[in-house]
Structure 1
Amino acid sequence: MKKIGLVSVHNPNYGSMLQTYALHTFLTTHGIENEIILYSKKKDWKQFVRLFNLPLVGMKSRIVFRDLYCKLFYPAIKKQLEERIVKFDGFKRKYFHFSKNYVGWNELVTANNDYDTFIIGSDQVWNPINIGTDFFNLLFTNDDKFRISYASSFGVSSIPSTQIKKTVRFLDRIQCLSTREIAGVKIIKDLTGRDAQLVCDPTLLIDRGYWDELKGEEKFIKEKYIFCYFLGNNPPHRDFANRFKEKTGYKLVALQHLDELVLSDIEFADIKPFNVSPSDFINLVANAEYVLTDSFHGTIFSLLYHKPFFTFSRFESSNKISTNSRIESLLKMVRIDGRYIKATESIDDCLKRNVDFETVDCLINNFQKKSLNYIKEAIAKSQQK
């Protein structure tokens, strides 16, 4: 059996990096040789067409604006952002085994010579903003190859009408289909008539011992704190955090300017570290007194480390690019109420709410077992091809 080609997201984002680490580690520790396929797009006409993908352009422009604005007006923050990238790059060099870099489409299709099986990993690989690359949908693979999706996420609750035909096309080519959200199962059923397997995010697929080893023993922050991990630009969430601080007396630790520049964050929080690797991120969650987040993976690691947490909606439910469905699906799976909240809620009421983490652990373990069965059976099928 040739090594497996793993297609996954490894952008400088804590959730993306850690879910890739988890699936990559799972495969390796189960004796399955695999490489993360490295692909660099060429600047050609296909990239010009992507300029009409307005959500993608909006996302990219926010990052460009952040970097340019900081360079001009906040050079200290610009330097700190660069330090964060160094931490991400160091994590990748230490833990990820990449393929050679396939540059451009013509080179990418030659990956068919190197792999018999391709796994498309988790995170929002099937988000409508990514469809133009034909990378995360595995359309670069030959018809005779075996394709597996593991916890692949659309990130949204519906597919734009202009993308339905292409979405059906790439889904029909994947022999073993799974997704990490209930909304994703419904999308696949509605578009293809197939029953996709609902599986856990890769970060829940491996045992917590791997995360304990990554985070280390020494605390990143020595004093007691509330960890704030907000990706969205929502000032009411920061207001809630400040009220939470006043009530508990703990300092606020925040990771800032992750997906965009949030000017109001410059004066927010007591401790604002930037030299934080993905391993340090786990450390920050694991040693916090409370976690406040609008992040899917911020919520997952709070569950894993039994942290009292409160999760907010990053997007309005009416927003077409809303990715709230993945958090809703996760909390429904672990049967938790009262932790997915609005910023206007009473701090006193929130502090009275408890989580039965023993039940949460049991539900996660059961979900993990079903997910393990799926990925093992899918790989076994690929070897029978």
Structure 2
Amino acid sequence: MLMNKDIGLVTYYKENYGSILQCYATKNYLEQKGYNCHVLYEKYDARQLRVVRAKNIIFHAYNSLRYKGYFSQYMEMRKSMKKEKGYLTRRAYDFQNKFVEDMLKPQGLTWKELHSIATRDDYIAFIAGSDQIWNASIHINPIYFLQFAPKCKRIALAPSFGINSIPTYNKKTVKVGLEGFERIAVREQTGEEIIGQLCKVPTIQVTDPVFLLDVNQWKSFAESVNTPSKPYIFVHFLSEPSKDTIYEIEKLSNRTSTEVVCFSYGYKEYSIFSKITHLDGDPQEYVSLIRDASYICTDSFHSSVFSIIMHKRFYTFPRQHLHKSPQSSRIIDLLTRYDLEDRYVKSGMIPEEDSINWNAVDTTMENERIVLRKYLDEEIERRS
């Protein structure tokens, strides 16, 4: 067992099952290796909060004056993100928070406190975790570039930009943030291309951290959860699905004599389904429902990922974002790497017959897992 080897993990872990589970997977993997992994976030006292708010006002005011259309785009993004978060049911939100408190145990520190622990010998590294922590369509908090820590202790583990290109108003911020790393592992090929355009920091493409754990570990994670006994379609959409999408899922339900299980989101569009059950649950129930489903229909990146891990018949639909920043590149990149482009139902029609070469998928998955683990192990070991 490694003694006094602490690692700080800074990533998203709230209000989204995929975000929570990529954080859990990273923390779990590191702790299996014998490290103490601490999920960290920045907290503010009253004075600091006023300063942060003032800086945000200045940031948005400056960009509104310099870049035409910035303010209206920002307000539209802010409004749509708030609305999309509101689609998650209150019960699901409470289940998620309970899991986060019990399993992830996040620790809030001020910037001064973060800087202080970053200089200690027992903290050997800090990881900017996965998910869209570098989504440059919005203002990026410096904590997600680990700017409180010495450059030699910063590790970038599969962060996603979420978009195909960096808006002009964010290029300088992103460039400075990227140059604070010695090497960067990104989740998508588009991420490598973005970094190459902005700076000369070496990059490597790795898969999402949920792949740090294999299928048996994920099944063990969810083994205590019971799921419906009848065949069902697991339906998990982060944004309101289109009417065409709902119609296709209803057709699939009728054709395969399966019930529709809608998980943690209560869109009005779901009322069309003739055989429907609404379920809310924590991340363990989320994984178990994917594990036992006959089919998965989703617009979620991580629901697609877990469908691949669990060898499920799944269909991923384009996400109906309320804002004007499409984020399909990460899903298309994922499906392309696994030769599963036909899982992306862009035309809106689910094929009646299909098959998946799971042997080829498993080979790709294992190769990506090896690269991911090797990168993370090497980055930590050279700082130990």
TM-score norm. by structure 1 comes to 0.86
Aligned to 1:93: 101
Deviation at 1:344, TM superposition (A): 3.1
Deviation at 1:287, TM superposition (A): 0.5
Aligned to 1:277: 282
Distance change >3 Å, CA 64–CA 290, structure 1 → 2? closer
Counterpart amino acid of residue 337 in structure 2? M
Deviation at 1:6, TM superposition (A): 0.8
The question of whether the paired residues in 2 share the 8 Å contact of 1:237 and 1:343 is answered with: no
Deviation at 1:66, TM superposition (A): 5.4
CA distance in 1, matches of 2:272, 2:138: 34
Aligned to 2:83: 62
Deviation at 1:311, TM superposition (A): 0.6
Consecutive unaligned residues of structure 2, counting only runs of 5 or more, are: 61-73
Aligned to 1:190: 197
Question: Partner of 1:44: helix, strand, or coil?
Answer: helix
Match of 2:118 among 98, 112, 119: 112
Deviations 1:318-342 (A, max 9, x none): 9752221111111111112311113
Question: Partner of 2:49: helix, strand, or coil?
Answer: coil
Distance change >3 Å, CA 284–CA 300, structure 1 → 2? same
CA distance in 2, matches of 1:136, 1:55: 23
Aligned residues between the structures: 359
Higher deviation after alignment, 131-140 or 194-203: 131-140
1:2-13 residue pairs with structure 2 within 5 A?
A: 2-13=5-16
CA distance in 2, matches of 1:146, 1:166: 20
Distance change >3 Å, CA 12–CA 372, structure 1 → 2? same
Match of 1:305 among 307, 310, 317: 310
Deviations 1:242-301 (A, max 9, x none): 1211221211111243xxx73333555600112x11000011101000111111111111
Aligned to 1:72: none
Counterpart amino acid of residue 253 in structure 2? K
The question of whether the paired residues in 2 share the 8 Å contact of 1:55 and 1:129 is answered with: no
Aligned to 2:249: 241
Counterpart amino acid of residue 46 in structure 1? V
Distance change >3 Å, CA 290–CA 146, structure 1 → 2? same
CA distance in 1, matches of 2:86, 2:28: 35
The question of whether the paired residues in 1 share the 8 Å contact of 2:182 and 2:202 is answered with: no
Counterpart amino acid of residue 328 in structure 2? N
Aligned to 2:17: 14
Counterpart amino acid of residue 368 in structure 1? R
Distance change >3 Å, CA 232–CA 172, structure 1 → 2? same
Aligned to 1:229: 236
Higher deviation after alignment, 334-343 or 203-212: 334-343
Counterpart amino acid of residue 100 in structure 2? K
Distance change >3 Å, CA 278–CA 64, structure 1 → 2? closer
> Is 1:377–2:378 an aligned residue pair?
yes
TM-score norm. by structure 2 comes to 0.86
CA distance in 2, matches of 1:55, 1:228: 27
Match of 2:300 among 289, 295, 301: 295
Deviations 1:2-32 (A, max 9, x none): 4111111111211001100001111110112
Higher deviation after alignment, 35-44 or 179-188: 35-44
